[in-house]
């Protein structure tokens, strides 16, 4: 069966690596294409297993892929005709395997997406698909639709898909408490993955917010110790709520990340979402924060340790790293964070 996952911009390679690491050895996986924010692949196993992917925002079963789409409205007729001739037997079996209740008279809704210049609107695409499915005996449902059908035209390709995932795939059930500008779990997971987790890690997030990075590390596998801290008591309360009684050993601190109460060379991995500047608009103050935090991170990090930092202040971080010549940037990824361009830095001792 043909599937796709949707990921945040910039995380495509990490998503591909996760897919390969999780499923390549089973013999069930064949990755076909990496597109912007999308990975297409064939998978012969149970689709329920794919719902555990942690880089993915959504999982789709692709019922039909139509290549060589044109700008003309005739493309709509091609999509409609493909849908009318399509057998849903195998697709329905996939739906049942992930817990979607399918039946003969199916309540459905259609989500349409369109990119590139076309001689038709996104609403035109949606209406054509709705009409074709209604002619099969299905009925439109504004609420409680059993089937979420997606019709998309991007570049030269058209897709008719069924969304197999719920919102929990991207949002995570553990996020019970939220704070403003809390990090997206899929991005937090990707940062943790870039830190190369090891069972003996002492792992630190010195600006932990709601604890998303720490929780993604805890869920990734064994570790020696988790340490989190934040200057905000509201953030720490959210971290404690989201952790509950799970994931020991760990400890949380109310602190200023510029003066960490930790011994030198005691931490293996530091993963942190640095302030973007929305809350600290004074540039000299933000510069001071970055400078002192980096020095503290370098002080507590063990030789051959690794830092993974997220920032929208690329020039500022580059300038401060230039002063710390013993730190080496091994990788820099451009990512999208709440519609803003940001960068993930992977940093080692030189």
At residue 58, the pLDDT reads: 96
Q: What global pTM score does this model have?
A: 0.92
Using alpha carbons only, what angle is made at residue 8 by residues 7 and 11, rounded to the nearest 5 degrees? 80
**Bridge partners of 149?**
110, 162
Residuewise pLDDT in 10s, the chain (350 residues): 999 999 999 999 999 999 999 998 888 999 999 989 999 999 999 999 999 999 999 999 999 998 888 888 888 888 888 888 888 889 999 999 999 988 878 899 999 998 888 889 999 999 999 999 998 889 898 777 889 999 998 888 889 999 999 888 988 999 888 888 889 999 999 999 999 999 999 999 999 999 999 999 999 999 999 999 999 999 999 999 999 999 999 999 999 999 999 999 999 999 999 998 665 557 788 899 999 999 999 999 999 999 999 999 999 999 999 999 889 999 999 999 988 999 999 999 86
Per-residue pLDDT at 308: 98
Residues 289/280, Cβ–Cβ less than 8 Å: yes
Checking DSSP bridges between strand 147-154 and strand 157-163, what pairing results, if any?
antiparallel
Structure letter (DSSP) for residue 71 = S
Q: Are strands 38-43 and 29-35 parallel, antiparallel or unpaired?
A: antiparallel
Asked whether the CA dihedral 299, 305, 308, 313 is positive or negative, the reply is: positive
Answer for the pair 65, 158: CB distance below 8 angstroms, yes or no.
yes
Q: Which uninterrupted H or E stretch holds 229?
A: strand 225-230
High-pLDDT (> 90) share of the chain, %: 71
Token pair in block for residue 185:
């779990």
What integer pLDDT is reported at residue 277 of this predicted model?
Answer: 67
Taking only Cα atoms into account, the Rg of the chain, rounded to an integer number of angstroms, comes to 23
Domain annotation for the chain: domains and CATH numbers: 2-168 (3.30.2130.30), 172-349 (3.40.50.150)
Buried b / exposed e along 168-193 (16+ C-beta atoms within 10 A): ebbebebbebebeebbbbbbbbbbbb
Would you state the pLDDT for residue 69? 83
């Amino acid at each position: 069966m043909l599937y796709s996952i949707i990921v945040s911009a910039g995380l495509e390679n990490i998503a591909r690596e996760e897919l390969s690491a999780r499923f390549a050895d089973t013999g069930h996986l064949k990755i076909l294409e990496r597109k912007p924010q999308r990975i297409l692949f064939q998978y012969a196993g149970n689709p329920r297993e794919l719902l555990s992917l942690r880089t993915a925002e959504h999982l789709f079963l692709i019922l039909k892929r139509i290549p060589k789409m044109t700008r003309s409205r005739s493309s709509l007729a091609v999509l409609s005709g493909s849908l009318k001739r399509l057998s849903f037997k195998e697709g329905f079996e996939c739906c049942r395997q992930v817990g979607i209740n399918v039946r003969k008279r199916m309540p459905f809704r259609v989500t349409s997406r369109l990119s590139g210049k076309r001689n038709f609107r996104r609403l035109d695409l949606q209406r054509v698909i709705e009409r074709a499915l209604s002619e099969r005996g299905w009925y439109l449902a504004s609420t409680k639709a059993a089937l979420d059908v997606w019709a998309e035209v991007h570049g030269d390709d058209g897709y008719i898909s069924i969304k197999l995932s719920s919102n929990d795939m991207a949002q995570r059930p553990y996020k019970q408490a939220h704070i403003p500008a809390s990090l997206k779990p899929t991005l937090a997971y990707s940062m943790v993955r870039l830190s190369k987790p090891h069972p003996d890690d002492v792992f630190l997030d010195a600006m932990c917010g709601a604890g998303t990075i720490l929780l993604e590390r805890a869920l990734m596998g064994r570790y020696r110790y988790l340490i989190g801290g934040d200057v905000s008591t509201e953030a720490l309360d959210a971290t404690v709520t989201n952790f509950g009684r799970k994931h020991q050993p760990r400890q949380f601190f109310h602190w200023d990340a510029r003066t960490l109460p930790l011994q030198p060379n005691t931490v293996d991995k530091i993963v942190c979402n640095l302030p973007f500047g929305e809350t600290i608009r004074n540039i000299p103050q933000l510069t001071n924060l970055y400078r002192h935090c980096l020095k503290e991170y370098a002080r507590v990090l063990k030789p051959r340790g690794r830092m993974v930092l997220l920032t929208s202040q690329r020039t500022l971080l580059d300038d401060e790293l230039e002063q710390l010549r013993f730190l080496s940037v091994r990788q820099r990824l451009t990512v999208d964070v709440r519609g803003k361009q940001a960068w993930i830095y992977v940093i080692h001792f030189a």
